[in-house]
Amino acid sequence: MTAPLSPEPVLRVRNLATGYGDLRVVWDVSLDVRPGELTVLLGRNGAGKTSTLRAVAGLNKASAGSVELAGADVTRTPAHRRVRQGLAYVQEGKRVFHRQTVEQNLVVGGYTRGMSRSALRAEAEGIYEIFPVLGDKRNVLAGDMSGGQQQMLAIGQALMAAPKVLLLDEPSGGLAPVIVGQVMEQVARLREHGIGVLLVEQALEASIRVADHIVVLDMGRVLVSVRKDDLDDIATLREAYFGRRAGHEPLRSSPDDR
């Protein structure tokens, strides 16, 4: 029996196309992210995952299709305004300020909210509840922490903007397998706060475990789009992930059909 869907999508992407200059990388991507749910975007290197995130964030221009955030069309909205409207993007590579403390990094993350530094430090207490290790190290320089801790800090910094939707680009990148599991557990917990998460990952098994909805890209198009509750055989995902199956139609459920 199919589980009931949560509220209307907070992020709705339809027929998105984007690229770099005259080079089109993403041809036709449609997906939904709902409040308190995690949609994982999978695919081989070069499938268009990061380019999709960058277009959703406003860093790449959409050459076709649309992006809606909380019911508002933001397809042509500059990236900094999308942040103010509730979209946060954690790019690959643990991008934190190494020479600033954990708490200073978090305060910087909340600057778009127009709050005082003391108010932002108070807001950081909520991040420490999500990532207790950051609370323990609030006065430690970010550059002195482990890779996994820096990744949690990068996510916490994005959360300081109080986003409705969080875009995460390969948070497991460069981390040891045991640390990947810890980071994924923390990512999964974000749903408890009503945040919609769009996660790009190479760690197939770890990301599927925490996903509510799974989308697989191949050559800039959606090959698989399925809710995990409706997934009968994970082998289908593995086949799609490692390459298009010759002679087979894509396993695809349009978000509009839900």
Domains of the chain, earliest start first: 9-86+164-173+194-258 (3.40.50.300), 94-162 (no CATH)
Give the burial string for 185-219 (b: 16+ CB within 10 Å, else e).
ebbbebbeeebbbbbbbebbebbbebbbbbbbbbe
Closest Cα partner for 70 from 37, 32, 29, 40? Answer: 32
Q: Which two tokens stand for residue 225?
A: 């789009």
pLDDT in tens, 19-30: 988 888 999 999
39 and 31 in contact (C-beta within 8 Å)? yes
Give the 3-state DSSP-derived string for 97-123, with helices as H, strands as E and coil as C: CCCCEHHHHHHHHCHHHCCCHHHHHHH
Kindly report, residue by residue over 107-166, the tens digit of the pLDDT.
999 988 888 999 999 999 999 999 999 999 999 999 999 988 999 999 999 999 999 999
Residue ranges, the chain, pLDDT below 50: 1-3, 245-252, 254, 256-258
Instruction: Work out whether strand 196-200 and strand 165-169 pair parallel, antiparallel, or are unpaired.
Output: parallel
